[in-house]
C-alpha cells in the first residue's frame, strides 16, 4: 500500500456499491423527493434533496466525532428522534393528502409557488432525513466498517461522506425528476388529486413503520 494513501480503491468501490443500494432503495427520502417534484417541479424540488444532503453531512460528522454511539446508546434520545420523525412523516402525509391538485402548466404561473421559500423546501428535506433514526443507525453501522484506523481517519470520513452525498443527489434527483415528469403528463386534476393522496398515504405508512421500529 502507498504510504501516502488515504483509502484503498477496493474499499472505496465496495462503499460505492453499498451506497448505491441504500440511496436508490425506496424510503422516506424518496417519498419526500417525489412529493417535492410533484409540487414544485424538478428545479425547485431539488432543494429538498439538498436538505437531505445537509443532514447526511451532519450525521457523518456526529459519527466521525464519536458522538453517534453515545446518542444511540440513550433510549430516551432514540425514542424522541423516532417519534419526532414518525409524527413529522404523518403530518407531511396528511398535508399531501389534502393538497389541492395543480396542473403543471399552472405551477409556473401561480404566485404562491413562485413565492414558496427555497429554505422551506430545503428544511423539509433536512427534517425528513434528520428525524429518521434509521439513517443514523445505518451510518453508525456502516461508515466505521470502511474506515482503516491505520490510515488518516478524518480524510477517510470526508471521502466516504462526499461519496454518499454525490450518490444520494443522483438518486433523489431521479426520484424528483420522475415525479416532476409524471406531473407534466397528468392533465386531469382528479388524477393529480389521487396521485397526491397516494403519496400522502405512503408518508403516513412510513411514519407508522418508523413509530413501531425497534433497534435489534
Mean local confidence (pLDDT), 48-59: 94
pLDDT of residue 162: 95
Which residue, 168, 185, 191, is CA-closest to 32? Answer: 168
Whole-number Å distance between alpha carbons of 83 and 175: 26
Q: What's the confidence (pLDDT) of residue 111? A: 45
What is the C-alpha to C-alpha distance for residues 170 and 24, in angstroms, rounded to an integer?
9
- pLDDT for 64-110, tens place per residue? 887 766 766 677 877 887 788 788 888 888 888 887 776 655 654 44
Grid cell digits, residue 166: 454525490
* 102-131 tens-digit pLDDT: 665 565 444 444 446 788 899 999 998 888
User: How much is the pLDDT for 48?
Assistant: 94
Q: Residue 131's Cα: distance from chain center in Å?
A: 10
The per-residue pLDDT for 3 is 47
What was the pLDDT predicted at 57? Answer: 94
Residue with cell 459519527: 63
Distance CA 198, CA 30 (A): 14
Question: Are residues 78 and 72 in contact, defined by beta-carbon separation less than 8 angstroms?
Answer: yes
Residue-by-residue DSSP string for 169-194: HHHHHHHHHHHHHHHHH--SHHHHHH
- Total number of residues shown for the chain: 216
Separation of alpha carbons 100 and 196, rounded Å: 9
Is 121 within 8 Å of 47 (Cβ atoms)?
Answer: yes
- Please answer whether residues 16 and 90 qualify as being in contact, where contact means their C-beta atoms are separated by less than 8 angstroms: no
Of 199, 213, 210, give the one whose Cα is nearest residue 86.
Answer: 210
Residue linked to cell 415525479:
179
Write down the pLDDT at residue 163.
Answer: 95
pLDDT digits (tens, 9 = 90+) for 2-24: 545 678 888 899 999 888 888 88
- Structural contact between residues 125 and 135, judged by C-beta atoms closer than 8 angstroms: no
State how far the Cα of 94 lies from the Cα of 182, in Å rounded to an integer. Answer: 21
Q: Which tens digit of pLDDT belongs to each residue from 152-202?
A: 888 999 999 999 999 999 999 999 999 888 877 776 778 778 887 888 888
Question: Which secondary-structure segment (H or E) carries 168?
Answer: helix 153-185
Give the angle subtended at the CA of 192 by the CAs of 45 and 197, to the nearest 5°.
85
Of the candidates 69, 124, 68, the one whose C-alpha atom is nearest the C-alpha of residue 96 is 124
- Stretch 21-41: mean pLDDT: 85
Amino acid at each position: 500500500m502507498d504510504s501516502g494513501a488515504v483509502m484503498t480503491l477496493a474499499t472505496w468501490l465496495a462503499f460505492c456499491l453499498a451506497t448505491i443500494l441504500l440511496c436508490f432503495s425506496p424510503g422516506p427520502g424518496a417519498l419526500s423527493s417525489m412529493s417535492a417534484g410533484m409540487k414544485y417541479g424538478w428545479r425547485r424540488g431539488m432543494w429538498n434533496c439538498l436538505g437531505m444532503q445537509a443532514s447526511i453531512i451532519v450525521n457523518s460528522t456526529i459519527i466521525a466525532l464519536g458522538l453517534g454511539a453515545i446518542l444511540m446508546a440513550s433510549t430516551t434520545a432514540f425514542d424522541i428522534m423516532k417519534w419526532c420523525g414518525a409524527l413529522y412523516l404523518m403530518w407531511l402525509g396528511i398535508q399531501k393528502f389534502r393538497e389541492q391538485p395543480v396542473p403543471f402548466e399552472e405551477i409556473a404561473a401561480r404566485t404562491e409557488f413562485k413565492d414558496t421559500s427555497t429554505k422551506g423546501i430545503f428544511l423539509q428535506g433536512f427534517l425528513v432525513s434528520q428525524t429518521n433514526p434509521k439513517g443514523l443507525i445505518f451510518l453508525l453501522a456502516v461508515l466505521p466498517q470502511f474506515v482503516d484506523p491505520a490510515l488518516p481517519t478524518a480524510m477517510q470520513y470526508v471521502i466516504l461522506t462526499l461519496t454518499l452525498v454525490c450518490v444520494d443527489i443522483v438518486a433523489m434527483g431521479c426520484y424528483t425528476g420522475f415525479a416532476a415528469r409524471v406531473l407534466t403528463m397528468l392533465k386531469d386534476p382528479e388524477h393529480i388529486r389521487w396521485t397526491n393522496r397516494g403519496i400522502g398515504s405512503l408518508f403516513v405508512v412510513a411514519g407508522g413503520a418508523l413509530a413501531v421500529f425497534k433497534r435489534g
